[in-house]
Amino acid sequence: HAILPLGPEPTIVSCPACHVTKLTRIDYEPSARTHLMAAILCIVGLWCCVCLPYCAESCMSTNHYCGNCNKFLGTYNGGGF
């Protein structure tokens, strides 16, 4: 199996399930990075900003799905955690 070139943005890939080449559909999901950023904001006393990591796509994992058959293709974590 080839590793699909997934990143933070929708990507054109050939789906291994339906073999259609199409732009992926993405969903964002909180990750360890999201929770860590929220914890750091709490620790430094910025309580009013704790929800920001849960609104920032760059702090979350990006899940890619086939734009044709909706098969899960993989997750991009942004490199850090």
Residue 2 lies in a domain: no
Predicted confidence (pLDDT) per residue in 5-34, tens digit: 889 999 999 999 999 999 999 999 999 999
Query: 6 lies in a domain?
Result: no
The number of folded domains in the chain is: 1
DSSP state of 48: G
For residue 33, give the nearest of 9, 8, 57 by alpha carbon: 57
pTM of the predicted model, to two decimals? 0.81
d(CA 26, CA 29): 10
d(CA 26, CA 19): 18
Radius of gyration of the chain (CA): 15
Does residue 22 form part of some domain? yes
Mind listing the pLDDT tens digit for each residue in 34-81? Answer: 999 999 999 999 989 999 999 988 889 999 999 999 999 999 987 554
pLDDT at position 2:
53
pLDDT at residue number 5: 80
Domain that holds residue 19: 12-76
